[in-house]
């Protein structure tokens, strides 16, 4: 199996109690992510889909809101003392020490234009450490899912077929790899304009494309891409990614190489090319 670039990028092993909590919640997370996908598919490519714009300039649809409402309801049915944080509604505090992190549609812009690369993201964070213990990416339009709990490997399913263990690629040099991002404009919008970082990575990589959001990170985890970079992220975009990438043998870090989902940015790699990428991003 491909191993991460450094041992420091790996989250510490869960305690016996933590493993039990993660495994119990993982099956539920997988189930409700699929349900959220079914809800969003009912609105996908609908000619009557209404698009509203939030105060930060990002779009939101009835599909986003309905899916998150469903996710919250299902979590409260099974884990009523868990906290919940989602993109579209206020945070619900909890008492169990675990918090669900929800992005009902990661890639609302592709969704509203009928592009089948949007995803539903579900994660659970251990509140004491702030670390995610599990993550699920569901791509309902393509029929793909990937999930992981810390210490249990990452598992990919295509079109309802057999679960297969996910592994990142063995590509050793970005010059032979695929570089993905979700929004080029985000590089320019950083406090320190990082447009030059995007163009440097684009020039270094063999191929670059904007197949972004959760789908791009899934591509890294299953070995179809070597690098995915976001210049701006919220925790609901990032929380599910770290356990999936690490359990697949890769890395998920900040632009400075810190293994965290709380940096407001993200880099996913197959591990082999992380050092190369940080040479471009580390100062930004």
pLDDT in tens, the chain (284 residues): 333 444 344 566 788 888 889 999 999 999 999 999 999 999 999 999 999 999 888 999 999 999 999 999 999 999 999 999 999 999 999 999 999 999 999 999 999 999 999 999 999 999 999 999 999 999 999 999 999 999 999 999 999 899 999 999 999 999 999 999 998 999 999 988 999 999 999 999 999 999 989 999 999 999 999 999 999 999 999 999 999 999 999 999 999 999 999 999 999 999 999 999 999 998 76
Residues 69, 206, single domain; the answer is no
Comparing CA positions, the residue from 169, 193, 189 lying closest to residue 179 is 169
Structural domains in the chain (count): 2
Whether 11 is covered by a domain: the verdict is: no
Tell whether 176 is in a known binding site.
no
- Choosing from 145, 165, 185, the residue where a domain stops is 165
Structure tokens at 267: 């880099």
Tell whether 106 is in a known binding site.
yes
- Round to whole Å and give the CA distance between 63 and 61: 5
Tell whether 105 is in a known binding site.
yes
The CATH number of whichever domain residue 189 belongs to comes to 3.40.190.80
Tell whether 230 is in a known binding site.
no
Residues 68, 131, single domain; the answer is yes
Tell whether 193 is in a known binding site.
no
- Round to whole Å and give the CA distance between 192 and 244: 29
């Amino acid at each position: 199996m491909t191993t991460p670039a450094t041992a420091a990028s790996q989250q510490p092993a869960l305690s016996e109690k933590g493993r039990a909590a993660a495994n119990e919640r993982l099956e539920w997370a997988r189930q409700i992510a699929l349900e959220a996908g079914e809800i969003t598919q009912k609105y996908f490519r609908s000619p009557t889909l209404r698009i509203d714009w939030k105060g930060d300039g990002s779009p939101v649809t009835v599909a986003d809101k309905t899916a998150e409402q469903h996710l919250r309801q299902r979590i409260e049915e099974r884990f009523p003392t868990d906290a919940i944080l989602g993109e579209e509604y206020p945070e619900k505090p909890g008492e169990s020490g675990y918090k669900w992190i929800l992005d009902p549609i990661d890639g609302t812009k592709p969704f509203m234009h009928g592009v089948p690369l949007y995803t539903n993201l579900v994660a659970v964070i251990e509140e004491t450490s702030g670390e995610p213990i599990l993550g699920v990416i569901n791509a309902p339009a393509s029929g793909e899912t990937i999930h992981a709990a810390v210490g249990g490997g990452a598992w990919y399913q295509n079109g309802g077929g057999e679960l297969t263990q996910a592994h990142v690629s063995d590509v050793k040099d970005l010059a032979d790899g695929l570089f993905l991002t979700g929004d080029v404009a985000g590089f320019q919008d950083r406090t320190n304009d990082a447009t030059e970082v995007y163009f440097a990575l684009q020039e270094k990589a063999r191929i670059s494309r904007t197949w972004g959001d959760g789908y791009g990170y899934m591509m890294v985890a299953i070995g179809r891409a070597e690098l995915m970079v976001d210049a701006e992220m919220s925790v609901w975009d990032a929380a599910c990614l770290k356990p999936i990438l690490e359990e697949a043998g890769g890395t998920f870090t900040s632009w400075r190489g810190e293994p965290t989902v709380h940096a407001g940015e993200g880099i996913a790699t197959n591990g082999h090319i992380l050092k190369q990428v940080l040479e471009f991003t580390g100062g930004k």
